[in-house]
Amino acid sequence: DGGITQSPKYLFRKEGQNVTLSCEQNLNHDAMYWYRQDPGQGLRLIYYSQIVNDFQKGDIAEGYSVSREKKESFPLTVTSAQKNPTAFYLCASSTDFSYEQYFGPGTRLTVT
Amino acid sequence: DAKTTQPNSMESNEEEPVHLPCNHSTISGTDYIHWYRQLPSQGPEYVIHGLTSNVNNRMASLAIAEDRKSSTLILHRATLRDAAVYYCILSPTVNSGNTPLVFGKGTRLSVIA
């Protein structure tokens, strides 16, 4: 089955720790994205990547970092510099920006 | 970036049609209109998209105004499983380095049994 996997579904961390969220796709998509969603809000773009070894900041990149060493993988690191990291994180991929985006099931991160 | 305006929430009775409106008065001639929906605690899923003509698929229909400044997502018979947040989004037809899809707050659809 083709799709996007995110792990883990729920993640708990102490304040001050960096944490890396996994995103893998086997759809052979070039573009991948990370979004953040807070309760009752829409999705906000953190980072996106159009091709391997290249990525761009989205609207709220501060406190986050990404890498794109393989086409299939686009991990997101939430650093200790992110002031309010508790949120629902969604990864997506698409053939390119104009095409349908496929979303993963999301990771709910709680930092205390 | 061309923006969209949607009502915050709408309510429908089960088994009745639902018309979800979206205004996009600054749409450019090459922007696609996309609709996604997000069920509770899940990632969004694609519903439908169109450019100028009305579109139908197994999930919904998309009616696009002649001037393209507004569109309407039509669910022909709402079910309880259609309760979700529906997002109307514009995207360019050609990937020329533009930023990807921008998701607003969408419309929260409640379906009453």
Q: How many CB pairs under 8 A join A and B?
A: 58
Whole-number CA gyration radius for chain A? 13
In angstroms, the CA B98 to CA A40 distance is 27
> Is the pLDDT at B96 greater than 80, yes or no?
no
CB nearest to B91's CB, from A35, A45, A98: A98
State the nearest Cα–Cα gap between A4 and chain B, in angstroms: 11
The confidence score (pLDDT) of residue B98 equals: 57
In angstroms, the CA B52 to CA A46 distance is 31
State the nearest Cα–Cα gap between A108 and chain B, in angstroms: 9
Can you point out the beta strands (E) in chain A? Answer: 4-7, 10-13, 19-25, 31-37, 43-51, 54-57, 64-66, 76-78, 87-94, 102-103, 107-111
Residues of chain A in contact with residue B34, where contact means CB-CB under 8 angstroms, are: 100
Q: What is the pLDDT of residues A86-100, one digit of tens each?
A: 999 999 999 876 678
Report yes or no: B59 at the A interface, CB cutoff 8 Å: no
Q: Which two tokens stand for residue A56?
A: 């761009």
**A contact test, residue of B45, B95, B105 with most A CBs within 10 A:** B95
Q: Which residues contact B51 (CB under 8 A, 6 or more apart)?
A: B32, B33, B64, B93
Q: Return the residue of B nearest to A58 by Cα.
A: B99
Q: Return the residue of B nearest to A41 by Cα.
A: B105
In angstroms, the CA A51 to CA A61 distance is 18
Residues of chain A in contact with residue B92, where contact means CB-CB under 8 angstroms, are: 97-98
CB B78 within 8 A of CB B15: yes
State the nearest Cα–Cα gap between B15 and chain A, in angstroms: 26
Q: What is the pLDDT of residues B28-75, one digit of tens each?
A: 888 889 999 999 889 999 999 999 999 999 999 999 999 999 999 999
The confidence score (pLDDT) of residue A1 equals: 62
pLDDT tier at A40, thresholds 50, 70, 90: confident
**Bridging pattern class, strands A10-13 and A107-111:** parallel
Report yes or no: B50 at the A interface, CB cutoff 8 Å: no
CA-based diameter of chain A, in Å?
38
pLDDT tier at B102, thresholds 50, 70, 90: confident
State the nearest Cα–Cα gap between B33 and chain A, in angstroms: 10
The confidence score (pLDDT) of residue A96 equals: 75
The confidence score (pLDDT) of residue A72 equals: 97
Residues of chain A in contact with residue B94, where contact means CB-CB under 8 angstroms, are: 98
